[in-house]
Chain A
Amino acid sequence: EDKVVQSPLSLVVHEGDTVTLNCSYEVTNFRSLLWYKQEKKAPTFLFMLTSSGIEKKSGRLSSILDKKELFSILNITATQTGDSAIYLCAVIIQGAQKLVFGQGTRLTINP
């Protein structure tokens, strides 16, 4: 069975801290990994990673994939209260239309 596991499930930090969120996967025929941010409702797209070792960056957020060890990390530096959300990791399987999601990490940034 295809599996995506995120850790930690919940994280509370102070504004200005740096956080690292983890996503590991065990799937048949991996194609790509995606990170989404879910605030109130709709997950919004952050990154898509297909190749190992190439960092994707957007402002204070960055992410990297390790296809040998089967995981990805999402880093957020200088966190702000607006970064509080659930961060979802999802994997695309070769030839499939669906996304396989992890259970999410609930990140809370306290002022």
Chain B
Amino acid sequence: EPEVTQTPSHQVTQMGQEVILRCVPISNHLYFYWYRQILGQKVEFLVSFYNNEISEKSEIFDDQFSVERPDGSNFTLKIRSTKLEDSAMYFCASSVRGQVWAGGINEQYFGPGTRLTVT
């Protein structure tokens, strides 16, 4: 069964460093998402991406964050200058179509996550 993959599984970085988290969505999916989950807290939406542009973003997704689809398979989340509070599990997800479309709802498939630890 096709699945979303993410690398690395765990990343440790120093405060102020740039990190890039990588995701390979399911191949026929067109919509991509990043979520994060700080330890012990809710899963929070960061950004959705379609047709090479951001379609929606949360207030968490400030200028320190950016997303990119550099080629036909990868989807990346970059944090320019990491802070301690960026430590979290970052989940990538993808769906065939947008979350809500004329034909119905598309479920999002989640990857296994990257645990980011900022020291």
Which A residues form the contact surface with B (CB < 8 A)? 31-32, 34, 36, 40-45, 48, 50, 88, 90, 92, 94-104
Contact = CB atoms under 8 A, between A and B. Distances in A.
Q: Which of A50, A98, A101 has the most CB of B within 10 A?
A: A98
A45 B109 contact: yes
Contacts of B56: 96-98
Contacts, number: 64
A97 B107 CA distance: 11
B113 A34 contact: no
Contact of B100 (A43, A90, A94): A94
Interface string B29-72: 00101010000011111001010000110100000000000000
4 nearest CB pairs, A to B:
A98-B45, A97-B48, A41-B112, A101-B43
Contacts of B45: 98-100
A98 B44 CA distance: 9
B87 to A, nearest CB: 16
B17 interface: no
A72 to B, nearest CB: 15
A103 B99 contact: no
Contacts of B75: none
